[in-house]
Structure 1
Amino acid sequence: MKRRLFSTVLALTALAAVAESPARPFAPPSSSSRIGSIMQIAIVDRTTGAELPIYRHRGEYWVAGRPGARYAIRARNAMGERIMAVMSVDGVNVVSGETAGIGQTGYVFGARENSDITGWRKSDSQIAAFEFASAGNSYASRTGRPDDVGVIGVALFRENVPVPPHPPIAPYPSRDEYSSRDRELRSESSALGDAKAKSAPAEAASSADAPAGAMARRQAPAPSLGTAHGRRETSYVGKTNFERAQSTPDEVVRIRYDSRDNLIAAGVIPVPPTPRWPRPSGPSPFPGSDPGYVPDPPSRY
């Protein structure tokens, strides 16, 4: 049995499931829009409502952000039980503002619950919006923690739910108990003789004292991106207690991000080659590819 280092943890309860947006950007076959097994994690452009494509490159996951765009971390609990999500952006806990660690507070999602986490938690009723910005203007850089700008992390924990103990089961009467009681009844009946009619009520009472019912019942080319401390917005949460089943996360989702230009330059986003008109052998009916109109022929004279 694994030792639990963190007992009862005060966690914020994610409220109000968010409907899935019908908008969906085109994504090449090498990308998806959600990753994770215990929870499905996506990054949402709040301007368009679209889940950003997530690209896998050299063992890491990437999304392309637009400077100035607000975004959200969309989390969908895929389990039929409560799950705690400790979330970080640029190495900073999104609830407490601490330099992120897996033992800190986070959001608790009910079974099959989903919600968009839209910003830095300021109180039980307000957040400061997540907003893509230059790395120097990120919240982490402005608070003296620039080393981990450009990464979103979600550490997921299952809950320790105590199994209720089984109720005690009454023992079955032994064969000897039945035999001794039968002998007592036969002895009493013989001693009474002719007073059998008068002894009937007493005999019935004695039978009631017997064990009734033996069956008892059971119970790059551009500046790198970071995440700014955006404008204040209303976002309500409540508090709950959550005890982790173990001290280490059951799953960690890590998504890196940067501008589209930088990800193209780094080879993260593949760029399809410009199509060229194939030139057949021999004379070609379309030797040029520049668009235009038929020019006048040169003058004869």
Structure 2
Amino acid sequence: MTIGSNLTTFAGLPVRPFEPGTRVQRRGERVAWRISVGYDDGEREVADALEALMSTVGAHHITALVIGSWGEPHAFGPPLHLLTAARDRLTELRALFIGEMTYEECEISWINQGEYAPLLGAFPALEVLHIRGADGLRLSPVRHRRLRELCVQSGGLPASFIRGFNDSSFPALTDLELWLGTREYGGDAVVDDLTPIMTGTELPALKRLALCNAEIADDVATALAAAPVVARLESLDLSMGALSDAGAEALLLGQPLTHLRSLDLSHHFMSQEMAARFAEELPGVRVDVSDEQETDEDGFRYVSVAE
């Protein structure tokens, strides 16, 4: 699977593209504004687009912001400092998506990212943060009291980012989604890196855990079978990965999952018999075992989104 279309909604709001020169009929309209620049553009054009948006819409009216391409995302990371510099104007910003672009603009594994601790420090009221791409993605230890939703979409998530997350504090986080990806594209995390998340001690509000697009899906499922955090989750998502009967069996034989509202295992390599067991053994849970995959002639299992 590739990401072939831009979002139409974000953070519960319709996404509206903004171009310099756009006329806004009504300030304060509840939309997620999207800015993006062309391939040959750069930081200056991004700065101009952001300034035009804030001036036209009214910076204090912007509650959700989607940043698409910043010119050559395969060559350099997003100009996060432009946002931090505007923090005293973007006082109502609550939701932010950095890197919302299709494969035609930049393949997900080629998207350069940056260090997110300063941005989180600059926006203590931010509640939703989505990031696409993980080349150069970093997170120094940070404490953020308001963030409730963090999603990182990648073809390969560096273990160093996960460790930075583990060393940070997000007491309000209810929804965590990490696309772990493959080692080939920088996804070098192992289950031990995920242990603090699975323990859940530092994530007291967590209700949804998504460890998606994982080459190590069997290892993840096996660890989750005894992970303390699972007992208080409402939703568990292992979709888009390389889950086989081995990991599925371990998950079913582990701790009870009947308290879950949903269990997403879509895009998997389970047998039909194993997939059917989830529906049979978890009758009160909304289980998704769609999108069954087949290994290639060498027995290779692949994630949904890599390059």
Q: Same fold (TM over 0.5)?
A: no
TM-score class, shorter: under 0.3
> TM-score, length-normalised on structure 1?
0.22
More helix by share: 2
More strand by share: 1
> TM-score, length-normalised on structure 2?
0.22
Q: Which one scores higher on RCO, CA 8 angstroms, separation ≥ 6?
A: 1
